[in-house]
Structure formats: C-alpha cells, structure tokens
Amino acid sequence: MSVTMYAVLGFSMMLILTVVLVSGKFTPSIPMIAIPMIFAVIMRPNFKDLSLWVTDGLKGQVSNAAMFTFAIIFFGVMMDAGVFDRIVGKMMLGAKSVTAVCILTVLATMIGHSDGSGATTYLIVIPPFLMIYKKLNMRPLILMCLVSITAGVMNCLPWGGPCGRLAAGFGISATDILIAELPGMIIGLICCFLIALYYAWKEKKRGAGLKEGVQPSQLFSEADKSEAEKALLRPNLFGFNVILIVAVIIIMFASGLPTFLCFMAAAALGLVVNYPDAKLQNERLKSYAPTVLTMVSVLFASGVFTGVLNNSPMKDSMVEVVSGILSGSTTAHVNTVMGFLWGPLSALGLNHEACAYTIVPMLQSIAAEHITPLQAAASYLMTFVPQVFVNPGTAAMYIGLGLAGIEFKDHWKFTFKWAMLICTVCFAGSLLVGAIPF
C-alpha cells in the first residue's frame, strides 16, 4: 500500500469518527473501537502488529482510567456527605446573578487549569458549579462549554503538555514560546469572558436566575433532599472533608505524584471516614458504578483509536503527504494558511504529538526564510490547542462530559463554533499586532 493511500486512510478515519460521534447514533465507545478496527483491517497488518498498535494505545489510557475511577468515587463521597452543598451555598452569597456565575466559571477554570491538567480542571470545577447551574435553571451545556474553551486557552501554559512537546520538538524554551504567543493567549481569554457574558444574557432571557423571594442561602437547604439523601449527610465531618479536598489539590499541584494515586488515597480515606460501615461503603460504590463504567469504557475505546492512528503507518504517511504538498507550493504564507487550519484539524482528532514533534517543525523548515521556530510554535499553539477539549480523542473531555451528564454530540455542536472562533480570533489578532508575521 502506498504512502498516499495510508495518508488518505488516516484522514478518512479521523473525519468518519468525528461525523459518527457527532451524529449521536451510537454510544462513543462503539465507533471508537469499530472504526479504527475496520481501517486496520484495510491495511492488512499481521496479528502481532495489530496487537502492538492497540496495546500501546490502551497503555496510554490506564492512568486516566484509574484516575477517573477514583476521582468519581472521591467526589461522589464528598457530594453525598453534603460538602459541596455548603461550599456552593457560601459561593452563592457572592454570586447572586447569572452573570456572576458565568464569569466565576471562567475564573475558576483559569485557576483550576493552572497545573496544565484538563482532567484535574474538570474534576475541580464541574461538580460544584453544576449544582449552581441547576439551582439557577442554567443549562449544564454552558458550564461544559465555558470550562472547555477556557481550559483550552489555558492549555498554552509552558508547563502544559502541548507547549512542552513543541519545545522538545524544536529544541527551544517553553517559556520563550509562551512569550511569543502571549498576545494570542490574552485575546483568547478575553473571548472566553465575552462568551460567558453572552450566555449569561441568553440564560437570563430564558428565565434563569433566582426565583423571586428566594435567597441564595436557601438554594442548598436540606429540605430539598430525600430521606435517603439526608441519611448520607455528614455535617460533623465538614471540616475534615474540606481539609481533605484542599490537601488533594495541593498535593496534586505541588508534589509531582501521579493524579490517579492522589485520588486513590483520597477516595479510600474519604469513604472510610464518612461511611465506616462495610455495607454502606458497598452501596456507595454501587451507586457510582454506572458513571465509572460508562466513562472508563470510553477512555479505553479512545485508546484503540489513538493506538491504531499513531502506531500504524497512517501517521507518518500523513506527515509525508502534507510535506510533499506544501514543499511544491509557495512557502511565504504556509504558516498563515496553516494557522487558520489547525483549529479544524484539531477538532477532527488530529494527533497533537504528531504535530508537535513532526508536522510543525517540518512546516517551519519549509518556510524557514519567513518564520522562526518560536513564531511557528506560537502560531500552532494558539490555534490548535484551544480546540483540544472538543477533540474526540481527548480523554479528559470525557471526564467532564461524564461529570456534567452531557453527550459528546451535544457538546460538540454547542462548543465547536466557539472554540473555532477563539482559534481564529487569537491568530488573526496576533497577525494584526505583529506578533506573528503574515
């Protein structure tokens, strides 16, 4: 099979998977397994190669699956114990309007994503804010959208994975890349706040907000809970649970320990302290099982997709074909053209590692007379990365979807246009201010 044929298969697989996921006709795990396997069969690998492709992809998701499983248990225990009811009740005293809640969502995501981890951001921001959104009759889709686009822009930080891989691919400083793309990042964050204000206006038109005569402190009263839910509350352990939550966050940010290990220890400690009875522990675990099973199956299924795409001849062939097309054309504006294309390619599921280590350096070498490695890296970073949490191959996104109770197709249809707008405006703004040459 020729290089061109492998490249066509690669781009076709990404496009078909995105279309099928957006259609919503299947649960995500089915097409993520079936479509890559069909394309793998077309390439006719031997059983050993196919096994290696898939196994390598699955290995990349093991830590994500472990982290997600125990994070769901941990936050489930905290919710059952009533911790978030009291925390969110206090937050509502300072966020009495729909507008304030939307702005706080963006600010909380900026803070939560300061470690560069999308999974951690969703786990920290979604659970408490989801309660506020529901109480104010605001759509959870907006919460997922605002967190995703803000985390996407913040993912450009030097200690985030994308910037680090680019720095390694080019052999340059990640901090220097940040300085080069800082105008675009600032523009992107401004866009996030403007989108938050837009949806606050839309939600108020829908009737969202505090009902007349209702005080913020009344939104999370125990009177709204069933007897079974009241039995799970642990008001006497509120102080312990808050300290545990803060400790987990600090340890994740400061210790360098794997996120899944932090949540494993926290889940075990939180469950034992709040519900010391073995029977009650089993009941709590069973109540979390549906969410865990659904999302872990999606994570492993996405491992099949990324494994086949990254380890088969498709990825290298795609790079070679793109290089051939561009090398034969005028190179003066290659970076500008690609700057406006990275967003759509990201949303289709194009692999970031392939871009950071091979495609972007290759494009810069083609247009070396017109653009420096720093400018090429910044152009890619500000346009590809903001789309990452709409990318069907991004595992962390499914954690957010599971926590918010949202289907991928709904998230994609709702958020894609905004992520695309941010990518375009970031890059266009950087061109206008001269940070990136035209």
Q: Tell me the domain boundaries of the chain.
A: 3-60+300-433, 62-153+189-288
CB 118 within 8 A of CB 394: yes
The single-letter code of the amino acid at 48 is K
Measure Cα distances from 371 to 140, 180, 360, 433 in Å: 42, 12, 12, 16
Q: Which range, 41-55, 161-175, 391-405, is most confident?
A: 41-55
Residue 211's pLDDT is what? Answer: 67
DSSP character at residue 348: H
Q: Residues 6 or more apart from 30 whose CB is under 8 A from it?
A: 301
Is 435 strand, coil or helix? coil
Residue 350's pLDDT is what? Answer: 66
Q: Residues 6 or more apart from 297 whose CB is under 8 A from it?
A: 29
pLDDT exceeds cutoff 90 at 18? no
Compute the distance between CA of residue 306 and CA of residue 32 in angstroms, rounded to an integer: 9
Q: CB burial class (10 A; 0-12, 13-18, 19+) of residue 78?
A: buried
pLDDT exceeds cutoff 90 at 158? no
pLDDT tens digits for 369-424?
777 888 888 888 888 888 888 887 777 788 888 888 898 889 988 998 999 899 88
Average pLDDT over residues 96-113: 84
Is 331 strand, coil or helix? coil
Structure tokens at 419: 């992520």
Per the prediction, the chain carries an average pLDDT of 80
Q: What's the pTM?
A: 0.70
The single-letter code of the amino acid at 315 is K
Compute the distance between CA of residue 233 and CA of residue 222 in angstroms, rounded to an integer: 9
Residue 196's pLDDT is what? Answer: 95
- Closest to 166 in 3D by CA, of 12, 313, 342, 330: 342
The single-letter code of the amino acid at 231 is A
